[in-house]
Amino acid sequence: MTPSLSLPSLDDLTRAERGVSLLLAAVIVFLVAAVAIGWIRAQYLLFLLSLGGMYLILSMGLNVQWGYTGLINFSVAAFFGLGAYGTALLTANSSPIAGGFNPIVGLVMGLLLAAVVAILIGIPTLQLRADYLAIASLGLAEVIRMIVLNEQQWTNGSRGVTGIPTFFEGWPVLGSLSDPFTIALADFGLVVVFILVVYLFLRRIHRSPWGRVQRTIRADEDLAEALGKNTYWFKMQSFVIGSVIMALAGVFYVHLNLYLGPGDLNPIRTFYVWVAVILGGSGSNRGAMFGGFTVIAILEGTRFLNGLQVIPFDIAPFRLLVIGILIILIMHLRPEGVLPPQKELIWPSAMGGESDE
Amino acid sequence: MSEAPAVTDGPVLDKPDPVLRTEGLQKAFGGLLATDDVSLAVERGSITGLIGPNGAGKSTLFNLISGFYQPDDGQVWVNGVDVTGSDPHEIAHEGLVRTFQTPRKLEGMSVREAMLVGPQGQTGESIVPLFTAPDTVREEERDALEQVQTMLERFEIDHLAHTPATELSGGQLKLVELARGMMAEPDVLLLDEPVAGVNPTLANKLAGFIRELNEEGIAFLIIEHDMGFIMDLADPIIVLDQGSVLVEGTPEAVRRDDRVLDAYLGGGGA
């Protein structure tokens, strides 16, 4: 193995971090320039950035399950979909169940729905070896997609749900916005808030005794049990928290896109999120966010290049190829991901003077 | 009582204050009976050796006692509490902690981080107090860090505190395992081959540490194939053969016992 698999040295870290920061800065400069020149409309750019933010949230959710605890969950798209359908069916005026609720109600119910399903799946599978959760989650993803597609009386089936309000419907000032650009700006602000809340929450629970037990379970579940940790309970917490974060991404997506169909639950989304987490560095929140950003950049960037017609053929179909090559490169050059976890999971303020080393 | 023979046929069960007791433990895998009928008692504060030829059922017995296997029949008590059928973490809470035959490497963790997993019932292991009582978490964490430092110094591996657990040698891992087990403050520690693959110098050191900890009141039940090591360290020795206790006695007596010799020389079914 490469030497950098060990706790990385300071030089190594700053290099990776410097590289990532430079890259992000370059992208921002490029995007601002693109807007200034008129290559891309500011409103569309905001939409793309919001979409990217949604992937950041999804990646952080999976990072809790896989990165912290080592749980293999192949139903990212399903938990995303539970949040999305949960809020869409409560708020949309085309909802066959009970539309017209405030999006805040939709948010709460969407997250609750995901939590309940996560518990129901977790009860039988988390007591068993890791493989069983993987198998069950693979099935769950298809089951939920099939229910959405076929139970038209509840979900509108393949017609999808339309007439979804923005997230700010009914709010004092933001609710009465009608200018598309301002709404896009508000949506972007919303996803930034969501990301911050999730990130700060995760940072605190990760660098704590709780996160340490999760890391122990990932490394060796039997050992954690032998040391008196109720691994079933810890895995359940990780699974539910991760799933609820995924559902939050779904809730945001619905009120951004204002349309939701069964196609949004396609398994490819699960695949993208897995790529994002592995690419960014399993177990690291910042890594997951960087991975999510990269994946959406590839997905949407290729579409953007098509629009510019600088390349004389349709490159969108090559997206998966690009992602595939990226995975192979990462596995060869940096198997621990671009921004792997670097910290000892010790409550920071307890380490006194040495916390900043 | 005081005139107890040096070797008894089968286990000695009427010990004054057993920290661990089993009765009639049985476990079969398919048609294979791994342990047939194991009854034994480990006296509080003792170092008890568990030996026996390969396939005698020693590791299975450890797994049955520590809750990793569910027995088909029989019972286990820790500190007088019936823990039969309990999960390993529940048994750990009753005061019994075990180590594993192959040391477990904790990927991505430093030595001191791995050590910090040991203490039981940490407030910070629940999510809510991380937000509502961060000060309590900080105090506990600070105390635990100090305790880790003391423990590492005691085991003379404090220079490894920041080393990734994956970079330790086999012997160092065994030391960390023992030290981490101590962090859980058990009444009885089960060690599965603590000196397998460990060089003689380190093995001697390890024996010294075990003795020292034992003098502070911790009981040990130790599986070991290194006869020199275990005979020197433990008293009494329990000999397991074909899934049940063959004899129990002092090291000297067990060493000279014909039945033990037969068992080791493959007398087995003969």
C-alpha A355/C-alpha B1 separation (Å) is 58
Q: How many domains does chain B have?
A: 2
Option in A223, A230, A349 nearest B138 (CB): A349
Residues B92, A227: C-beta atoms closer than 8 Å: yes
| In a domain? residue B209 | yes
One domain for residues B208 and B83: yes
Whether the CB-CB separation of A171 and A30 falls below 8 Å is answered with no
C-alpha A66/C-alpha A257 separation (Å) is 28
One domain for residues B41 and B12: yes
Task: Provide, rounded to the nearest whole percent, the portion of chain A with pLDDT above 90.
Answer: 48
Residues of chain A neighbouring B113 (CB-CB closer than 8 A): 212, 215, 344-346
Contacting residues for A353 by C-beta, under 8 A, at least 6 apart? none
One domain for residues B91 and B128: no
What is the residue-level pLDDT of chain B in tens, covering all 270 positions? 444 568 888 889 889 999 999 999 999 998 888 999 999 999 999 999 999 998 889 999 999 999 999 999 999 999 999 999 999 999 999 999 999 888 777 878 999 999 999 999 999 999 999 999 999 999 999 999 999 999 999 999 999 999 998 888 888 889 999 999 999 999 999 999 999 888 899 999 999 999 999 999 999 999 999 999 999 999 999 999 989 999 999 999 998 888 988 888 765 443
One domain for residues B36 and B162: no
Residue B153: which domain range? 109-167
Task: Provide, rounded to the nearest whole percent, the portion of chain A with pLDDT above 70.
Answer: 93
Option in A7, A345, A351 nearest B164 (CB): A7
Q: Which residue is associated with the tokens 């750019």?
A: A45
The predicted structure's pLDDT at residue B269: 46
| In a domain? residue B2 | no
Option in A205, A216, A226 nearest B127 (CB): A205
**What's the mean pLDDT when you consider all of chain B?**
91
**pLDDT tens digits, A216-273:** 999 999 999 999 999 999 999 999 999 999 999 999 999 999 999 998 989 999 999 9
One domain for residues B116 and B69: no
Torsion angles phi and psi, residue B38, rounded to 5? -100, 115
The predicted structure's pLDDT at residue B270: 39
| In a domain? residue B17 | yes
Residues of chain B neighbouring A341 (CB-CB closer than 8 A): 108
C-alpha A91/C-alpha B218 separation (Å) is 63
CB-based burial label for B107 (10 Å; 0-12, 13-18, 19+): middle
One domain for residues B122 and B78: no
One domain for residues B50 and B141: no
Q: Which range, A6-10, A293-297, B264-268, has the best average confidence (pLDDT)?
A: A293-297
Q: Tell me which of B135, B167, B199 is where a domain ends.
A: B167
Residue predicted with more confidence, B227 or A176? B227
Closest-CA residue of chain B to A225: B89
One domain for residues B201 and B78: yes
DSSP notation for A45-109: HHHHHHHHHHHHHHHHHHIIIIIII------HHHHHHHHHHHHHHHH-TT-TTT----HHHHHHH
Confidence of residue A6 (pLDDT cuts 50, 70, 90): very low
- CB burial of B231-260 (b: ≥16 within 10 Å; e: otherwise) equals bebbebbbbbbbbbbbbbbbbebbeebeeb
Option in A213, A347, A349 nearest B117 (CB): A213
Tokens linked to A116? 């309940």
Pairing of strands B237-241, B244-249: antiparallel
Q: Tell me which of B123, B138, B167 is where a domain ends.
A: B167
**pLDDT tens digits, A307-325:** 666 677 777 778 888 888 8
Describe the crossing of helices A209-219 and B134-154 by its angle, rounded to 10 degrees.
50
| In a domain? residue B180 | no
The predicted structure's pLDDT at residue A356: 40
C-alpha A126/C-alpha A149 separation (Å) is 28
Instruction: Tell me the residues of chain A between 49 and 68 that have a Cβ less than 8 Å away from chain B.
Output: none
The predicted structure's pLDDT at residue A13: 59
**pLDDT tens digits, A27-38:** 888 888 888 888
**What's the mean pLDDT when you consider all of chain A?**
87
The predicted structure's pLDDT at residue A357: 37
| In a domain? residue B122 | yes
**Cα torsion at B106, B192, B197, A129 (round to 10°)?**
-40
| In a domain? residue B269 | no
CATH code of the domain covering residue B25: 3.40.50.300
DSSP-assigned beta bridge partners for residue B18 = B43
The predicted structure's pLDDT at residue B4: 55
Contacting residues for B72 by C-beta, under 8 A, at least 6 apart? B26, B27, B28
Q: Which range, A150-159, A344-353, B117-126, has the best average confidence (pLDDT)?
A: B117-126
Residues B104, A205: C-beta atoms closer than 8 Å: no
Confidence of residue A3 (pLDDT cuts 50, 70, 90): very low
| In a domain? residue B177 | no
One domain for residues B119 and B84: no
| In a domain? residue B178 | no
Residue A209 touches partner B, C-beta closer than 8 Å = yes
Q: Which residue is associated with the tokens 């990734």?
A: B164
Instruction: Tell me the residues of chain A between 283 and 302 that have a Cβ less than 8 Å away from chain B.
Output: 283
Tokens linked to A249? 């991404």
The predicted structure's pLDDT at residue A5: 45
The predicted structure's pLDDT at residue B5: 67
Determine which of A344, A351, A357 to mutate to test the interface with B (most B C-beta atoms within 10 Å).
Answer: A344
One domain for residues B118 and B142: yes
Residues of chain B neighbouring A228 (CB-CB closer than 8 A): 89, 92-93, 97, 120, 184
Residue type at position A172: P
One domain for residues B63 and B122: no
Please give, rounded to a whole number of angstroms, the shortest distance from the CA of B187 to a CA of chain A. Answer: 13
Bond preceding residue B236 cis, omega within 30 of 0: yes
One domain for residues B255 and B195: yes
